[in-house]
Amino acid sequence: MRRSNLRGKNAWSVSLALGALLLSPLAIVAQGNGAPKVGGTSTFDSPGAGDTDNPNGRHRMTTLTSIPEDFSNLKLSPGFLLGMEVYDAPELSSDVRIDTLGNINVPMVGAVHVADKTLTEATVLIEQSLKDGKILNNPQVNLNITQYAGQNVSILGEVHNPGRVELLASHNLEDVIALAGGETQLAGNMIEIRHPAGVSPQKELIHYSRSSDDMTLVDTQVHPGDTVTIRRAGIVYVLGAVTRPGGYIMQEGGELNLTEALSMAYGTTLNAAVGSMRLIRKLPDGQVQETPIAYRDIEKGKIPPVRLQAEDLIYVPVSKVKTIVSTGLLASTSQAALYVYH
């Protein structure tokens, strides 16, 4: 009698264990789809009403994708494909593309101009059009961008990576230059911005400095379709009685003064007439202006060094007296050397 009771209890325990194993989530997954998978697209197990794409009634979770940082400020333009969904009116929901005139064709309404509008503004326009056309009393429209037509900004001149950069919305000039790798060492302090045809003004010249207080680059806006040219720094010519005469680029933001230019030319020679140094500058009307430079006062710190402009010419004359004296000293030294040698 006891043995039969024990056997009955053991059999009942084994049955419960087998039942729990079969009803466990792992066993259910193993029976349905095989071994559990790692990664992939996740799904919700709750059935979706009217979901014809998924026969099992599961909602697919979309993967995370990155969007441009200027997407929130995006203005609609021709070529964009918009996904329009009208609540409780599937016959009005469709994909619409913006034509060359900036319009979309809304079913039962017609053309609605949405170019140069944000998504929110375009949504309000479509809802108002449906309401004005007495199609719906209280239309609720959800508008999304399915495809966008990329617009470019051309960045040329003295940048590390010249070329075309895709912009969806306006950016400040500092950001645009950074997208091209920044300025080169030969970049000046003048930037030219050309706007597309029909935009006034057609050309814009931006003058700035490398000072940390100068906010010109931040305050200047570049729009899609513009062409930005970073001009090369101007050249200053140093000629005459200097160690290395020639033309020198105005580096450090396109600014250069007299002492900096002379140091780039390795200074003046022994026979230089520094008191007769002159600055020759070409004026906008084509005439040439010649100005004496008080170099002695600049050396003593009495006056600041002269600020130079592009295509300025610094001429350091040769002193005849110093030349004769230095030639005589050189001849005397040579004769003394020959006498000692003999």
pLDDT band at 70 (very low <50, low <70, confident <90, very high): low
Q: How far apart are CA 122 and CA 281, in angstroms?
A: 57
Q: Is residue 193 within 8 Å of residue 206, measured between CB atoms?
A: yes
DSSP label at 149?
-
Mean pLDDT of 147-154: 81
The confidence score (pLDDT) of residue 25 equals 44
- Of 319, 235, 308, 312, residue with least CA distance to 269: 319
Tell me how many helices (H) and strands (E) the chain has. Answer: 9, 19
Give yes or no for residue 229 having a pLDDT over 90: yes
Residue 103 or residue 148, greater confidence: 103
State the maximum Cα–Cα separation within the chain, in Å, rounded to a whole number. 144
The confidence score (pLDDT) of residue 335 equals 52
pLDDT band at 151 (very low <50, low <70, confident <90, very high): confident
The pTM assigned to this predicted structure is 0.55
Mean pLDDT of 82-87: 92
Give yes or no for residue 305 having a pLDDT over 60: yes
The confidence score (pLDDT) of residue 63 equals 53
The confidence score (pLDDT) of residue 60 equals 45
Which CATH number does 151-232 carry? Answer: 3.10.560.10
Same fold yes or no, 71-147 and 151-232: no
Of the listed ranges 80-84, 206-210, 214-218, the one predicted with least confidence: 206-210
Q: Is residue 312 within 8 Å of residue 238, measured between CB atoms?
A: no
Overall residue count recorded for the chain in this entry = 342
The confidence score (pLDDT) of residue 29 equals 40
Mean pLDDT of 298-314: 91
pLDDT band at 55 (very low <50, low <70, confident <90, very high): very low
Give yes or no for residue 65 having a pLDDT over 50: yes
pLDDT band at 223 (very low <50, low <70, confident <90, very high): confident
Q: How far apart are CA 140 and CA 188, in angstroms?
A: 54
Of the listed ranges 15-19, 83-87, 244-248, the one predicted with least confidence: 15-19
DSSP E strands in 7-114: the ranges are: 43-44, 59-60, 81-86, 94-97, 103-106, 110-113
Q: How far apart are CA 156 and CA 181, in angstroms?
A: 12
Q: Which CATH class is domain 71-147?
A: alpha beta
Mean pLDDT of 214-236: 90
Neighbour count for residue 247 (Cβ, 10 Å): 13
The confidence score (pLDDT) of residue 333 equals 52
Mean pLDDT of 107-134: 91
Q: How far apart are CA 185 and CA 248, in angstroms?
A: 13
Pairing of strands 151-157, 227-232: parallel
Assign domain 235-322 to its CATH superfamily: Outer membrane lipoprotein wza domain like (3.10.560.10)
Neighbour count for residue 265 (Cβ, 10 Å): 21
Mean pLDDT of 291-319: 91
pLDDT band at 169 (very low <50, low <70, confident <90, very high): confident
Domain boundaries, the chain: 71-147, 151-232, 235-322
Give yes or no for residue 278 having a pLDDT over 70: yes
Residue 245 or residue 73, greater confidence: 245
pLDDT band at 76 (very low <50, low <70, confident <90, very high): confident
The mean pLDDT value of the chain amounts to: 78
User: What residues form DSSP beta bridges with 319?
Assistant: none
pLDDT band at 111 (very low <50, low <70, confident <90, very high): very high
